[in-house]
């Protein structure tokens, strides 16, 4: 009888195909490790930078209730960033290096946060649309093949639905309010709709990493599949709010039981990815400044801990 | 980077009295007191716990996954450790 010798890589793929989870100390192809570090750290960076456009409205929230809720939401985003950084660290990435890559512009974060939050309705749109899109991306990641990433995503998803609901409630309140409030909601919706569709990434045909990520079960749905799902989910919600989707090509397709919709402006998408969005510069600058301003705190805490440890010995 | 990172800590949380502590993730902190506070803020914002343990990650020793087959092998051929190994006559109750 002939025995089949599987290479390490084939054994690894067999475990993935059997839907086994991969844990930090298990053997894994170098490319799998690299892909995960890139994806998880980008995801963590997005949570961190995502605090900036919303933090912009904490001091200007229209009521104490809204302010307390927004504060809790922004704190959650910091928490999500930390869950994810710690998942990336199990792959051997260092926190300092990941932050340095973010600050130097080498690492990317979600382009959606390079758009400004101009009115209070933008905070509604960020929760309802942006977090709604994030949830669609994130729910399948709860079953991603790398254990620590999947576990972090379970915690993130539990918290994320509060974010989306608070955003929807802001929009609902505005849409049921004065004509000026309704107009404010529509104006913000017009600006956020298309950038939110871009959050799912380039078209499948132009997403070279998708196939391998699907094979490794890091990803479970393609960009276009998720984008379609999002449109089908959100159009009825916009209708409920009485908002008009800013897409003249949008219509229900009875044959495919889904919406047909217009083409995303891919030129704008790539411009923002390349750093030429409205807020790329501000976001990065704010992040770097926060990090530099906090340097003395990090140093002092280390010095204090060292002093205490030395005292405990003597 | 001019200075080193704060050490890494592993966080374990007891979700309610009567259950054991379970690993939930890790974080960076300068010392144990800070690790405890950070663990509270990062991992229990929605009352997920009534008790927290933090352990510096460098103190954790883990078994090697490459040796798992041989390491856990001694338990593999002792099916008699399980009650289902034994056949009990149908007429015997309460066993």
Express each pLDDT in A58-105 by its tens digit.
999 999 999 999 999 999 999 999 999 999 999 999 999 999 999 999
- Reference B25, options B47, B41, B5; nearest CA is B41
The 10 Å CB-count burial string (b at 16+, else e) for A63-98 is: eeebeebbeebbebbebbbbbbbbbbbbbebebeeb
Beta strands, E only, B1-95: 8-14, 22-28, 51-56
A309/B31 Cβ within 8 A: yes
Give the helix/strand (H/E) hosting B29: none
- Report how many domains make up chain B: 1
Distance CA A283, CA A109 (A): 11
A305/B34 Cβ within 8 A: yes
Domain presence at residue B83 = no
**Res A6: pLDDT:** 83
B5/A94 Cβ within 8 A: yes
Distance CA A75, CA A163 (A): 11
Q: What is the mean pLDDT of residues A107-129?
A: 97
SS3 for A83-137, per residue? Answer: HHHHHHHCCCCCHHHHHHHHHHCCCCCCHHHHCCCCCHHHHHHHHHHHHHHHHHH
Domain presence at residue B56 = yes
Read off the pLDDT band of B5 (50, 70, 90): confident
pLDDT digits (tens, 9 = 90+) for A16-37: 999 999 999 999 999 999 999 9
B61, closest residue in chain A (CA to CA): A25
Measured from the Cβ of residue A186, the count of other Cβ atoms closer than 10 Å reads 18
From the candidates A86, A88, A300, which should be mutated to test the interface with B, based on the most B CB atoms within 10 A? A86
Q: Which residues of B touch A100 (CB under 8 A)?
A: 1
pLDDT digits (tens, 9 = 90+) for A248-292: 999 999 999 999 999 999 999 999 999 999 999 999 999 999 999
Distance CA A100, CA B92 (A): 70
B26, closest residue in chain A (CA to CA): A86
Residue B35 sits in a domain whose CATH number is: 3.10.20.520
Q: Which two tokens stand for residue A137?
A: 């991306």
3-state DSSP helix/strand/coil percent for chain B, to nearest 5?
A: 35, 20, 45
B3/A302 Cβ within 8 A: yes
Domain presence at residue B44 = yes
Q: Which residues of A touch B24 (CB under 8 A)?
A: 155
**Res A107: pLDDT:** 95
pLDDT digits (tens, 9 = 90+) for B35-86: 999 999 999 999 999 999 999 999 999 999 889 889 999 988 899 999 999 9
pLDDT digits (tens, 9 = 90+) for A134-159: 999 999 999 999 999 999 999 999 99
From the candidates A22, A94, A302, which should be mutated to test the interface with B, based on the most B CB atoms within 10 A? A302
Q: What is the mean pLDDT of residues A112-118?
A: 97
Domain presence at residue B88 = no
A82/B5 Cβ within 8 A: no
Please give the mean pLDDT across all residues of chain A.
Answer: 95
Read off the pLDDT band of B2 (50, 70, 90): very low
Distance CA A147, CA A24 (A): 8
**Res A5: pLDDT:** 76
Domain presence at residue B87 = no
B31/A304 Cβ within 8 A: yes
**Res A3: pLDDT:** 56
**Res A208: pLDDT:** 81
Domain presence at residue B92 = no
Residue A1 has pLDDT above 70, yes or no: no
Among the listed ranges A3-7, A53-57, A179-183, B11-15, which one has the minimum average pLDDT value? Answer: A3-7
Q: Which residues of A touch B54 (CB under 8 A)?
A: none
Write out the residue range of the structural domain in which residue B17 sits. Answer: 3-62
Q: Which residues contact A252 (CB under 8 A, 6 or more apart)?
A: A258, A259, A260
Interface of A with B (CB under 8 A): 23, 25-27, 72, 75-76, 79, 82-83, 86-87, 89-90, 94-96, 100, 148, 151-152, 155, 159, 298-299, 301-302, 304-305, 308-309
CA distance, residue A300 to nearest chain B CA (Å): 9
Domain presence at residue B79 = no
Is there a contact between A215 and A14 (Cβ–Cβ < 8 Å)? Answer: no
Residue B3 has pLDDT above 70, yes or no: no
Q: What is the mean pLDDT of residues A165-194?
A: 98
Domain presence at residue B47 = yes
CA distance, residue A86 to nearest chain B CA (Å): 6
Angle CA A215–A201–A106, to nearest 5: 95
Q: Which residues of A touch B28 (CB under 8 A)?
A: 95
B31/A100 Cβ within 8 A: no
**Res B29: pLDDT:** 96
pLDDT digits (tens, 9 = 90+) for A215-258: 999 999 999 999 999 999 999 999 999 999 999 999 999 999 99
Strand partners, A253: A258
- Report the predicted TM-score, pTM, of the whole model to 2 decimal places: 0.92
**Res B32: pLDDT:** 95
**Res B1: pLDDT:** 40
A95/B3 Cβ within 8 A: no
Would you list the DSSP string of A173-217? Answer: HHHTS-HHHHHHHHHHHHHHHHHHHHTT-S-GGG-TTHHHHHHTT
CA distance, residue B56 to nearest chain A CA (Å): 14
């Amino acid at each position: 009888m002939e025995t089949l010798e599987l290479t390490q890589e084939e054994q690894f793929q067999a475990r993935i195909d059997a839907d086994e989870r991969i844990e930090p100390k298990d053997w894994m192809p170098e490319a799998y490790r690299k892909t995960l570090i890139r994806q998880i750290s980008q995801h963590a960076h997005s949570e961190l930078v995502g605090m900036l456009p919303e933090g912009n409205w904490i001091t200007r929230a229209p009521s104490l209730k809204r302010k307390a809720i927004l504060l809790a939401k922004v704190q959650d985003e910091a928490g999500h960033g930390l869950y994810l950084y710690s998942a990336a660290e199990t792959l051997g990435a260092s926190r300092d290096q990941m932050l340095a890559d973010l600050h130097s512009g080498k690492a990317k974060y979600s382009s959606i946060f390079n758009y400004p939050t101009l009115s209070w309705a933008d905070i509604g749109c960020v929760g309802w649309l942006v977090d709604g899109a994030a949830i669609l991306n994130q729910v399948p990641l709860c079953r991603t093949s790398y254990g620590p990433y999947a576990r972090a995503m379970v915690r993130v998803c539990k918290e994320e639905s509060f974010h989306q609901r608070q955003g929807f409630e802001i929009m609902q309140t505005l849409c049921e309010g004065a004509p000026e409030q309704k107009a404010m909601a529509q104006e913000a919706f017009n600006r956020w709709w298309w950038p939110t569709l871009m959050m799912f990434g380039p078209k499948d045909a132009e997403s070279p990493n998708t196939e391998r990520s699907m094979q490794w079960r890091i990803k479970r749905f393609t960009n276009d599949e998720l984008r379609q799902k999002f449109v089908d989910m959100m159009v009825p919600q916009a209708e409920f709010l009485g908002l008009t989707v800013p897409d003249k090509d949008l219509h229900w397709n009875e044959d495919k039981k889904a919406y047909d919709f217009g083409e995303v402006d891919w030129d704008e998408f790539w411009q923002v990815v390349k750093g030429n969005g409205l807020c790329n510069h501000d976001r990065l600058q704010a992040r770097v400044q926060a990090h530099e301003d906090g340097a003395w705190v990090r140093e002092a805490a280390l010095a204090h801990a060292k002093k205490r440890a030395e005292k405990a010995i003597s | 980077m001019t200075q080193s990172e704060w050490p890494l800590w592993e966080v374990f949380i007891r979700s309610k009295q009567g259950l054991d502590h379970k690993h939930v993730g890790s974080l960076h902190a300068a010392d144990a007191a800070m690790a405890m506070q950070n663990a509270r803020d990062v991992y229990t914002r929605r009352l997920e716990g009534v008790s927290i343990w933090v352990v510096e990650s460098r103190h954790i020793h883990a078994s090697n996954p490459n040796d798992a087959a041989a390491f856990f092998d001694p338990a593999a051929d002792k099916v008699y450790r399980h009650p289902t190994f034994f056949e009990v006559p149908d007429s015997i109750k309460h066993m």
